[in-house]
């Protein structure tokens, strides 16, 4: 690998490690798996960096990360692994040291509840909601990351939001309590 390519990959790593980690954490529900898949994403990016052209690099990296997650999920499906069991049964996350403890606790509970609700969604719905609502991807970037047409992005996003609202209502969430629109 030449120095130019190595520098490009180093810059990508510094810039996108955390967003990719959090994306993979939302998909998998496991910190350990998210770390492993983040490393896998950059390993794959290193191999295929010369192949990507004319694409938004952020969307491309999220596509690589999603494919790494789907490959891992398929592998674990073959071994009868439950992808969200680790997340659903783990409650030992550290509270943030920032802000008022009550506010942080409410926010953490809301975020945790939302993560648990999103675990009920199919992978494509979780991915598209995360990319649009958390990563603030444009429709074009989502098209590239998920390999969908513009209409598919809009329809899938609409369906994902509706499904999440239905699941939230089923689990007793109210709009005024959690700020859901």
The share of the chain scoring above pLDDT 90, in percent, equals: 35
Quick check: 144 and 56 in contact, CB under 8 A? Answer: yes
Q: Look up residue 71 and give its two tokens.
A: 């490959």
Model confidence pLDDT, tens digit, residues 140-169: 999 999 999 999 999 999 999 999 889 888
Contact (CB, 8 A) for 79 and 85: no
In sign, the C-alpha dihedral spanning 170, 133, 87, 175 is negative
CA separation for the pair 177, 159 (Å, rounded) = 23
Per-residue pLDDT reduced to its tens digit, 64-119: 999 999 998 888 777 665 555 555 555 444 444 445 555 555 665 666 777 788 88
Mean pLDDT, the chain, whole residue set: 79
Greater confidence, 180 or 125? Answer: 125
**CA distances in angstroms from 60 to 23, 37, 74, 170, listed in the order given:** 14, 15, 21, 35
- Give me the sign of the Cα torsion angle 29, 30, 31, 36: negative
């Amino acid at each position: 690998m030449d120095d130019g390519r190595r520098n490009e990959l180093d810059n990508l790593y510094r810039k996108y490690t955390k967003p990719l980690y959090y994306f993979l954490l939302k998909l998998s529900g496991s910190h350990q798996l998210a770390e492993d898949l983040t490393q896998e994403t950059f390993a794959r990016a290193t191999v295929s960096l010369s192949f990507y052209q004319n694409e938004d690099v952020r969307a491309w990296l999220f596509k690589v990360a999603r494919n790494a997650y789907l490959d891992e999920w398929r592998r674990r499906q073959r071994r009868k692994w439950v992808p969200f069991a680790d997340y659903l049964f783990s409650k030992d996350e550290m509270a943030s040291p920032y802000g008022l403890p009550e506010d942080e606790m409410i926010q953490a509970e809301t975020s945790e509840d939302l993560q648990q609700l999103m675990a009920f969604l199919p992978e494509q719905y979780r991915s598209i909601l995360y990319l649009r609502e958390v990563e603030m991807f444009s429709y074009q970037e989502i098209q590239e990351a998920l390999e969908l047409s513009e209409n598919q992005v809009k329809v899938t996003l609409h369906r994902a939001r509706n499904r999440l609202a239905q699941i939230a209502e089923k689990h007793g969430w109210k709009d005024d309590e959690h700020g859901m629109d």
